[in-house]
Amino acid sequence: MSVPPPSPASRTTTMRRPFAAGHVRSASVPCHSHPLLTHVDDQLLALRSWTSNPGPNPLSLAHVRALLCVLDELLLHLPLAASTDRLLHGFLLLADAFGTFLSALLALRQHAAELHAAVRRRDHPKIASAARAQRQLDKDLAHLAAAVARDASRCARATTTVPSCDSHHGAGATELEVARTVAEAINDTAVASASVFMEVASLADAAAAAAAAPATKKRLPPLMHSSSRSKNKQASYEEKREAMALEKLKQLEQCIGELESESEKVFRSLIQARVSLLNIHTPTF
C-alpha cells in the first residue's frame, strides 16, 4: 500500500507517531536459538524498523500481518508457560481495537462520500455538517490509538517480568521464552497499529479541513467598481480550493478501501492467535 500522507499541518505534526518507542525489551541479540523463536524475532525487528521509519508506506499493515503469521506457527509448535491469561487478554484487546477500527473505517467511508458529494454541489451547509462528523471520527481514532498502545503495553510488561533465559534450562526455559516473545509481539503489534490509526486520523482531518475551507473562506473584498477580472480571480481561487479538497478526499477514500481489506485480515489473524492460545490453555484429550 502506498498512500501519500497529507500535507504537513500543525495538528498532523503533533499527532504523528507518538507510540514509536517503549518496547518491552530489545530483540537485537536474542538469547534463544530455536528457529521459530528466531524467526519471530526477525519479524519483530522488521516491524519495529517500519514503525520507527515507515517511509512512503505509513498506512501499511504488511509487517503486522507477517508477524502474526509466524506467531501462529510458533504457538502451534512450541510449548508455552502457564501465563497465558495475560496473553489471552492482550490478543482480546488487539482484536477489539481492530473491530472498532473496522467500524470507524466504515463510518469514515460514508462521511467522506457525503463530503465529496457536497463539495461537488458546493452545498456549504452540508459540507460543514459532514466535515464536523469526519473530524469527530478523527478524534475517536486518536483515542483508540492511545488506548490500544497503553493497554497492550501493560499486558505485555506484566507477562515479561520473568528471569532471563540464561538462568533457565530445558523445556521450562523454552516455555518462558515463548511467553516473553508472544508478549513482545502483542506490544509491538499495538504500537504499529496505533501508528496506523493515528495516520488515518491525520489524513481524515486534513481532508475535512480542505473540504470545509471553501465554505468558511471569506470572499475577497469587493471593489468600488467590480470588474470581470476580480470576479475571475475569485472564481479561480475557489476552483483551486475545491480541486485540492476533492483530491484529498479521493486519497482518503482509496486509503479506506485498502485498509478495510488489510484490517480484516489482521483481525482474523488475531482471533486465530487467541484460539491457538485457548487450545494451549485448555488442551483436549
What is the full DSSP assignment across 177-237? HHHHHHHHHHHHHHHHHHHHHHHHHHHHHHHHHHHHHHHHSPPPPPPSS--HHHHHHHHHH
In a domain, 144, yes or no: yes
Using the predicted structure, report yes or no on whether residue 28 has a pLDDT greater than 80: no
Using the predicted structure, report yes or no on whether residue 4 has a pLDDT greater than 70: no
pLDDT over 90 percentage in the chain: 49
178: Cα separation from own chain's centroid = 26
What per-residue confidence (pLDDT) applies to 233?
Answer: 62
What per-residue confidence (pLDDT) applies to 228?
Answer: 60
Weakest mean pLDDT among 20-34, 124-138, 147-161: 20-34
Q: What does the pLDDT average to over 179-200?
A: 93
Using the predicted structure, report yes or no on whether residue 179 has a pLDDT greater than 60: yes
What is the full DSSP assignment across 17-29? -TTS---SS--SS
In a domain, 253, yes or no: yes
In a domain, 226, yes or no: no
What Rg value do the Cα atoms of the chain yield, rounded? Answer: 23
- Single out the residue of 142, 146, 117 nearest to residue 131, CA to CA: 117
Structurally, the chain folds into a number of domains equal to: 1
Distance CA 251, CA 258 (A): 11
In a domain, 24, yes or no: no
What per-residue confidence (pLDDT) applies to 276?
Answer: 86
pLDDT digits (tens, 9 = 90+) for 45-62: 999 999 999 988 899 999
In a domain, 180, yes or no: yes
What range defines the domain where residue 69 resides? 31-217+233-281
Using the predicted structure, report yes or no on whether residue 177 has a pLDDT greater than 60: yes
In a domain, 52, yes or no: yes
What mean pLDDT value characterizes the chain? 79
Using the predicted structure, report yes or no on whether residue 27 has a pLDDT greater than 50: no
What per-residue confidence (pLDDT) applies to 102?
Answer: 96
| pLDDT winner (highest mean) among 172-186, 207-221, 228-242 | 172-186
- Higher pLDDT: 113 or 19? It is 113
pLDDT digits (tens, 9 = 90+) for 219-236: 445 544 455 665 566 667
pLDDT over 70 percentage in the chain: 71
Give residue for cell 473491530: 99
In a domain, 56, yes or no: yes
